[in-house]
Amino acid sequence: MLIPAPDLLPASVRAFVERHGREPSWRASAPGRVNLVGEHTDYLGGLCLPVALGHRTWVVAAPRTDSRVHLTSGDALEWSGDTSHLTGSPLRGWASYVVGALRAVGWQGGLDLHVESSVPVGAGLSSSAALICAVVTAVTERSPDDLLRAALEAEQVHVGAPTGGMDQTVSLLARPAHALLLDFAGGGLPAGRPVPWSPERDGVELLVVDTGVRHANDDGAFARRRAEAEAAMALSPDEVVAARDPLPRRRRHVDSENDRVRRVVAAVERHDWTEVGALFTASHVSLRDDHEVSCVELDAVVEAARTAGALGARMTGGGFGGCAVVLVPTTQRDRVVARVSAAARAAGHPEPSFLPGEAGGPATRHRAAGPSHVDLSQAQ
C-alpha cells in the first residue's frame, strides 16, 4: 500500500553500461524531502524543519575525452550537448538541473551521466534538489558546505527557480532518524540543528500522501507569492495594519509559521504527538487561508485524514499541488489511507499515492563495489 523506497544503484549502473557502453567512474545518490513545518519561511530568513525521505535520486557518471555532455535517464529521457551549454542563459526541463549543477561546480570537459530516481517529479518532494545534490556529490569531492553552495547556485542562479534553500540543505545534510531545524536568519548558509525524529517508537507514523496534482517552483506562482511575502515582511507593524489585503495575511502566515516551528520542535522533544499533529493542522490552515498556496485536492486529503483518525495533517513543500504529510497512530494508518483514497475518488480528484515518511540519510557517494555509504555529514 505504501510505495517502498527502492535501491536503484544496481539498475543505474546497468543502465549506464547499456547506454554509454562502459562502467561509470562515480556513483552518488541524494534524497527527496518532506518539510514537517515551517513552509514559505526559508526565503524570508525564517525557520523550517524538514526530514530527508528514503526515496532518492541516483546519478552515475564518467568523464569523456571529448567535449560532449550526454545525459540519459530511466524515463528514457535523453539530452546531449556540447560543453558550451555549460555557460549562457538558463535551460528548461530536467537537463537544466544537471547542467545547472555542472555549471555551479565549474565542470570542464565532456561527461556521460545517467539518472534514476524514485522521487516523484513535481510532487513537492524536492525531486529537483535531489537531482542537483546527487550530481554535485557525484562529480566533485568537496566539503558539505561547498556542495551546498554549489547546489543553491545551481537551482537559484542557473535554473532560475526563486526557491529558498531548505530543500538542498536537507538533501545534503540530513541525518537518519532526525529532522533538521534550519534557521535562515542572517542570509548566508542556514544554521542547522538535528532534532531526533522517530515517532514510530511511540506508535505514530508520518505518512506522505501524493495528491497527483503536479506543479513547478519555476512556473511563476511561487515567485508571485514570494514577492508578496517579501513586501509584507518589509512593512513596519503600523504599516501592516494599514496595508491592503493580502499583505497582512501573508505577514500573519510567516510570523505564525515561525512560531509553530518552535512549538513543534518543543513538542517533538517531549514526544507530545497530539500537539505536533494539532500544529501541523494549524500550519495547513494558515497556508490555505493566509498564504494561499494550497489547492482543493490538498485540502481534501487533510480533511479526510483528520476525520479518519490522524493526529494532524498539512500540505508540505511549495504547494499549488503536490503532497501532504499526515501524522497518524500506526493503528489508524490503514483506515486513514482507505478514507483519503475514498474521499479523492468521491470528489473526482486524481488517485492519491502513499509513501513512508521515515527520516532517511543525506547525499552519499557510493563505492564501485556496491553501496558503501560515505556519510558526507561526517566528512568535514
What residue ranges bind ligand GAF (CB under 6 A)?
Answer: 35, 39-40, 42-43, 126, 163-167, 217, 317-318
Query: Catalytic: which of 42, 82, 145, 167?
Result: 167
Is 75 assigned a catalytic role? no
Decide if 228 contacts 251 (C-beta within 8 A). Answer: no
Name the minimum Å distance from CB 324 to ligand GAF: 14
Q: Which is nearer to ligand GAF, 69 or 325 (CB)?
A: 325
Q: Which is nearer to ligand GAF, 215 or 339 (CB)?
A: 215
Q: Which is nearer to ligand GAF, 54 or 321 (CB)?
A: 321
Which grid cell sits at 79? 539530452
Name the minimum Å distance from CB 135 to ligand GAF: 17
Name the minimum Å distance from CB 343 to ligand GAF: 25
Q: What is the rounded distance in angstroms from the CA atom of residue 377 to the CA atom of residue 126?
A: 19
Q: Residue 44 CA to chain centroid, in angstroms?
A: 18
- Residue 246: cis peptide before it, omega within 30 degrees of 0: yes
Q: Which helix (H) or strand (E) holds 145?
A: helix 144-153
Burial of 90 (C-beta count, 10 Å sphere; 0-12/13-18/19+)? middle
Name the minimum Å distance from CB 77 to ligand GAF: 22
Q: Which is nearer to ligand GAF, 217 or 377 (CB)?
A: 217
Q: Which is nearer to ligand GAF, 24 or 38 (CB)?
A: 38
Q: Which is nearer to ligand GAF, 86 or 161 (CB)?
A: 161
- Sequence-separated (6 or more) residues with CB below 8 Å from residue 369: none
- Cα→Cα distances 74→12, 26, 280, 353, 369, Å: 8, 17, 35, 21, 22
Q: What is the rounded distance in angstroms from the CA atom of residue 302 to the CA atom of residue 315?
A: 8
Cα torsion at 280, 33, 204, 337 (round to 10°)?
Answer: 90
Sheet holding 178-183, edge to edge: 47-48, 178-183, 191-196
- Partners of 50 in the beta sheet? 35
322-339 exposure pattern, b = at least 16 Cβ within 10 A, e = fewer: bbbbbbbbeebbeebbeb
**Catalytic residue positions, numbered:** 167
